[in-house]
Structure 1
Amino acid sequence: MDAMVHPARAGGDALIDVRNLEFTVASQAGEVNILRGITLSVAGGEAVGVVGPSGSGKSTLMMLLGGLDRPTGGTVRVAGHDLCALDEDALARFRRDHVGIVFQSFHLVPTMTAEENVAIPLEFAGVRDAFGRARAALESVGLGHRIRHYPAQLSGGEQQRVALARAFVAEPAIILADEPTGNLDQATGAQVIELLFGLRARHGTTLVLITHDPDLAHRCGRIVSLADGRVVSDRPALPEAA
């Protein structure tokens, strides 16, 4: 284990600033502490890989950063918003305006075409040319010929590319990606990752990438390791060997 632990970085200008974050759930055996006092800051434009064994709290952390769950302790500030102080409507607006999310299981609406799925965040934001921008986003991930297809008519890799287009289409400040290649074969997953990092570079987006794959984590500039709900290592990614 890396001995260098940085529980906090300067949070004043951080795009993401988490302090003493706790998340506890009830079970028949009593309370289960999933996150145990995480403190973490991410600057605008950073790409951070979050790694750790199953049950370490990676996906829970992402849900809290996206305002999809509420912590039981601590604070979460993202893009200047105190997420703990927002009601559900305000959290929905926060996600619409600031965050794109990519899930392992795609989370596309099965009754909507690829174009309609990508247009959803733009329509919620009241963008006038939502469908034109959705088509352009699908073209940017190589799916301009699939805009009228439904998720069931697409391969897993194509569905995840639609999810990427949807996440980036509103040009959010932050992308949260939870095991984006987890349901894909190695070759398809590699293509999706190239698209993810290409889009991130093009838009200058801050990326928090949850992954079990150390090689994928090293594509980021920084790696945060979790274990038992705590940050155990926070270090720059080592350069890949030539």
Structure 2
Amino acid sequence: MPTTQAADPLIDLASVTLSLSGNAGRVDILRGIDLRVMRGETVGLIGPSGSGKSSLLMVMGGLERASSGQVRALGQDLSALNEDALARFRRDHMGVVFQSFHLIPTMTALENVATPLELAGDRDAFDKAAEELRSVGLGARLDHYPAQMSGGEQQRVALARAAAPRPDILLADEPTGNLDGTTGEAIMDMLFGLRDRGATLVLVTHAPELAARCDRVVGLRDGLLDPDSAAAARAEAAE
């Protein structure tokens, strides 16, 4: 796999489009996105519902294939990888946090966090998973199932699962969207704490306070980059 120099973008999107076909015909979701994310950056993706934020995040992670253009991460052309190779790349280099948690309901918190480590062949998967859960304040919840935990606790499990493999890139889609203000603030602190481990963060958010903590805010509207909405977000955060 090609090496990435510190001055090179960690994520590099060039002329990326995404179109999906449905009963109503073709829908153009992304319409030519050029975006670079540098190593160690935190980037907030903002914009109205339906603007393409979550789709852009999924394209960055190889969870959705671009219809055209080029998506590179860590110097690797993701469009050149088949599904198995993409899964291995995400396993080795990426963590993803979804708004709806996506925990496995039949697994305990410990098992949920240990699973990606086990898949990567880590012999200390359960010890590392326990350590990660303790770091997010869930040391007493290791053996609890998702249904036995609050939404905030489930999101912390999801964050621990994404962070445990020490990913180069962490993608988060509305990570505080389902949480109350106090819990959301705690999750934000945990997310930005991952930078100390060397993670590069890309976050989709509607929350001005979360966008304000990012190094850079990127606005989207109708599948295109929208500098005006990014400037408005910065102004709102400064008030």
**TM-score past 0.5 threshold:** yes
User: Which of the residues 144, 147, 153 maps onto 2:148?
Assistant: 153
Between stretches 57-66 and 225-234, larger displacement belongs to 225-234
Task: Please list every run of 5 or more consecutive structure 1 residues that lacks an aligned counterpart in the other structure.
Answer: 1-10
1:124 and 2:139 matched: no
Q: Does the C-alpha gap of structure 1 residues 218 and 210 become closer, same or farther in structure 2, counting only changes over 3 Å?
A: same
Give the structure 2 partner of residue 140 of structure 1. Answer: 135
Q: Which amino acid aligns with 2:204?
A: I
* Counterpart-to-counterpart distance in 1, 2:71 and 2:87: 15
Q: Does the C-alpha gap of structure 1 residues 74 and 112 become closer, same or farther in structure 2, counting only changes over 3 Å?
A: same
Q: 1:169-208 alignment to 2 at 5 Å?
A: 169-198=164-193, 200-208=194-202
Local SS of the residue matching 2:18 = strand
1:232 and 2:210 matched: no
Runs (4 or more) in structure 1 with deviation over 6 Å come to: none
* Counterpart-to-counterpart distance in 2, 1:239 and 1:15: 29
CA deviation digits over 1:106-134, x for unaligned, max 9?
Answer: 00000001000001111011011000000
Task: Please list every run of 5 or more consecutive structure 2 residues that lacks an aligned counterpart in the other structure.
Answer: 1-5
User: Which of the residues 197, 204, 208 maps onto 1:210?
Assistant: 204
Whether contact under 8 Å (2:40, 2:195) holds in the other structure is no
Give the structure 2 partner of residue 4 of structure 1. Answer: none
Between stretches 68-77 and 27-36, larger displacement belongs to 27-36
Give the structure 1 partner of residue 60 of structure 2. Answer: 65
Q: What is the percent sequence identity of the aligned residues?
A: 60
* Counterpart-to-counterpart distance in 2, 1:14 and 1:148: 40
* Counterpart-to-counterpart distance in 2, 1:96 and 1:177: 15
Q: Does the C-alpha gap of structure 1 residues 241 and 32 become closer, same or farther in structure 2, counting only changes over 3 Å?
A: closer
Q: Does the C-alpha gap of structure 1 residues 223 and 209 become closer, same or farther in structure 2, counting only changes over 3 Å?
A: same
Q: Which amino acid aligns with 1:59?
A: S
1:34 and 2:17 matched: no
Give the structure 1 partner of residue 13 of structure 2. Answer: 18
Local SS of the residue matching 2:144 = coil
Q: Which amino acid aligns with 1:176?
A: L
User: Aligned-pair distance for 1:238?
Assistant: 6.8
Whether contact under 8 Å (1:135, 1:147) holds in the other structure is yes
User: Aligned-pair distance for 1:196?
Assistant: 1.3
Local SS of the residue matching 1:127 = coil
Whether contact under 8 Å (1:222, 1:237) holds in the other structure is no
Superposed CA RMSD in Å reads 1.9
| TM-score normalized with structure 1 length | 0.91
User: Aligned-pair distance for 1:81?
Assistant: 1.3
Higher helix share: 2
Local SS of the residue matching 1:121 = helix
Q: Does the C-alpha gap of structure 1 residues 41 and 209 become closer, same or farther in structure 2, counting only changes over 3 Å?
A: same
Give the structure 1 partner of residue 3 of structure 2. Answer: none
Give the structure 2 partner of residue 81 of structure 1. Answer: 76
Local SS of the residue matching 2:62 = coil
Q: Which amino acid aligns with 2:32?
A: G
Whether contact under 8 Å (1:218, 1:238) holds in the other structure is no
Whether contact under 8 Å (1:16, 1:78) holds in the other structure is yes
| TM-score normalized with structure 2 length | 0.92
How many residue pairs are counted as aligned between the two chains?
231
* Counterpart-to-counterpart distance in 1, 2:8 and 2:235: 25
User: Aligned-pair distance for 1:58?
Assistant: 0.3
Whether contact under 8 Å (1:96, 1:121) holds in the other structure is yes
User: Aligned-pair distance for 1:194?
Assistant: 1.4
Give the structure 2 partner of residue 5 of structure 1. Answer: none
Give the structure 1 partner of residue 213 of structure 2. Answer: 219
